[in-house]
Amino acid sequence: MGKTITNATPLVQYLLDLNARKLLAGSFPGRILEDKNHFTALSSLPSVLYAGFDPTAKSLHIGNLLVINNLLRSTKFGCKALMLVGEATASVGDPSGRAKERPMADQNITRDQAGFISTTLSKIADNCMVLSKSPGSISLHNNAEWLTKMNAIDFLRKCKPFRVGAMLRTGAVKSRMEGEIDNDGISFTEFSYQTLQSIDWLHLTERHDCFFQIGGSDQLGHLDLGAHYIRKQTGKFAAGITLPLITDASGNKLGKSTGASVWLSDQMTTAFHFYQFWKQLPDVDAERLLPMFTLKSMPEAEVVLKEHKEKLGKWIAQEALANEMTMLVHGQEGLDKALACSRALFQNSTSDLHSLTQNEILALFGESLKIQKERAKTIGEFAAQTRNDGKPTENLVKSGAFKVNGVRRGDPEEKIDHGSLILGKTKNLTLICWGKRKFQLIEWT
């Protein structure tokens, strides 16, 4: 299928753009853009689409951001985007991507997490409008609004069109049933998850004329079942696509190369650390991820990539991603603080930190090392308190490897005036650095 089609609907234009960005990992029906009959049916659909996000944690993570961004970008083509928070489905548990049964979620905790995630999605949608300089058409929904009002008999009646044979063939269910992995099978509760997700989709078709869904790489089975369910219930065609699982050049799941997720909540990943995740991407990852994550058009993204390749070592693509993604998730204020912190750490511009309050600096760094004043009366003692690797610090200090608030302190015997070490407007904070980039925030007690 060509890249441009005369008189294509907004939904088709959007999907062609996804294809150009190498983001069509799977679809229902298969070969959705190549098959003539499928493409004709696709062209008849309303330009409305949705993606769901179950609140299984306090925050969404960077893998979810790929889905969020590609949902939001659809509005630039004239589509209507629906963001669905799966409070009710999270209480049941999605078996996809799970080797074992999920523990039963506490409904009060799930409700709170749904609130946190709804707030995050709402902020991202608002920031998207600022970045795109366009109001777009984005709305937020929660499936607890309808699923919790459905009694058991209503649920069973709605499940009449489902066939157990088809449900057993869903990848996540099949692997658990056949013992491909060491587990105790699958409970009816998790087995029924796919029916609830299909009922969600049907609800969105009835209320919002939404016959298209996008999801993560593990959602193709649910998408397939849901599209068939809608066909049986409405007699109409439904379709969707899944996005690829994004990994770095080493094959690690994006954002987890160090074993810790990069979260979208500033309480779990600060704006500074979020910014630095993007800024420190290797060139090969930055060049690949820019078209996948950016809200910019492909021609705009290609301009950035061209400049990046012409000026290797200047981190053009990384900076573009870091600025845009941090603005999208944390807003202008979060981006400003991340930039100030970055300048302070990597350009020795401690004046940027001097303008921030204690709470702002603590929020930026996310953690601090607490040191008692009486245990650090000299620079040498202070330096020793900041290391836990067992290495002697005296020679390191003498070599100029130790900085305090951006200033080298090379005399281990120098007496400390703790008051002179306090950073800017803070009450008891000091910023130290070992070598070029090993920064640590100190909190005096």
pLDDT at 387: 86
* Mean of all residue pLDDT scores within the chain: 87
User: H helices then E strands: how many in the chain?
Assistant: 20, 11
pLDDT for 382 equals 92
Q: Which two tokens stand for residue 96?
A: 């996809």
Average pLDDT over residues 148-163: 88
Query: Does residue 425 or residue 308 have the better pLDDT?
Result: 308
According to the model, what pLDDT value does residue 184 have? 67
| Three-class SS state of 441 | strand
The mean per-residue pLDDT over the stretch 344-371 comes to 74
pLDDT tens readout for residues 73-117: 999 999 999 999 999 998 887 777 566 666 777 888 989 999 999
Strands lying side by side in the sheet with 80-85: 26-28, 239-242, 212-215, 48-53, 80-85, 138-142
* More reliable by pLDDT, 241 or 134: 241
Q: Which pLDDT score, from 0 to 100, does residue 46 have?
A: 96
Domains of the chain: 10-242 (3.40.50.620), 246-347 (1.10.240.10), 369-444 (3.10.290.10)
Give the model confidence (pLDDT) of 385-444 as tens digits: 998 777 788 889 998 889 888 788 989 999 998 888 898 778 899 988 887 667 888 999
Least confident of 107-121, 232-246, 321-335, 357-371: 357-371
- What band does 238 get if pLDDT is binned at 50, 70 and 90? very high
Q: In the chain, what percentage of residues exceed pLDDT 70?
A: 89
Segment 180-221, tens digit of pLDDT: 445 567 778 888 888 999 999 999 999 999 999 999 888 888
Summarised one tens digit per residue, pLDDT across range 24-70 is 999 999 889 888 888 999 999 999 999 999 998 899 999 999 999 99
Q: How far apart are alpha carbons 173 and 258 in whole angstroms?
A: 30
Asked if pLDDT for residue 249 goes beyond 60, the answer is yes
Burial of 281 (0-12, 13-18, 19+ CB in 10 A): buried
Residue 277 to residue 267: CA distance in whole angstroms = 16
pTM above 0.85, yes or no: no
Place 2 in a pLDDT band, splitting at 50, 70 and 90.
Answer: very low
Residue with the bigger pLDDT between 95 and 319: it is 319
